[in-house]
Structure 1
Amino acid sequence: MATATLTTKGQVTIPAAVRCALGLHAGDRVDFVELERGQFAIVAATKSVSDLKGLLNKPAKPVSIEDMHEAIATKGAGLA
């Protein structure tokens, strides 16, 4: 298990073995994802928005602007 020490400024150096396993390099970003209370995972946030293309399927039925406005109004009014 890799261990790091928190500095007085709240900084932590990610151990080399962890950086290597995550494919992290200087300047890369990481996300801290809460798994449960008191436990977090460190996830490399190196993908760009364009990498998300095709992740979600297109809706089976197109949604009209009117339907979108109605759904927003209903949810905003607390009716849903």
Structure 2
Amino acid sequence: MIGSTITRKGQVTIPKTIRDRLDVREGERVLFIVRGDDVVLKVVRGTILDLKGSVTPVQRPEDFEKLSISPL
């Protein structure tokens, strides 16, 4: 078990051995999940927005004017 101390500002340093094991780097995001009296730290490894543009569409987008409905 490895410990850390909470600072006046409520900050906690993640020990280097844990950062190395989880491959966590400066600027990466983490989540704190409360489970009863315990707190679980989870590393956020990207979002759905990171995938934008990684899949080629099957068809090209239609022209918006062709899709719009004419007024009656």
Assess same fold via TM > 0.5. yes
Equivalent positions of 1:34-45 (< 5 A) are 34-35=34-35, 37-45=36-44
Q: Once superposed, which parts of structure 1, at least 4 consecutive aligned residues long, lie more than 2 Å away? A: none
Cα RMSD for the two superposed structures: 1.8
Q: Secondary structure at the match of 1:20?
A: helix
Aligned length: 51
Which one has a bigger Cα radius of gyration? 2
Cα displacement (A) at 1:51: 7.0
Gaps of at least 5 residues in structure 1 are: 53-80
TM-score normalised to the size of structure 2?
Answer: 0.61
Q: Where do 5+ consecutive residues of structure 2 fail to align? A: 52-72
Structure having the higher helix fraction is: 1
Aligned to 2:16: 16
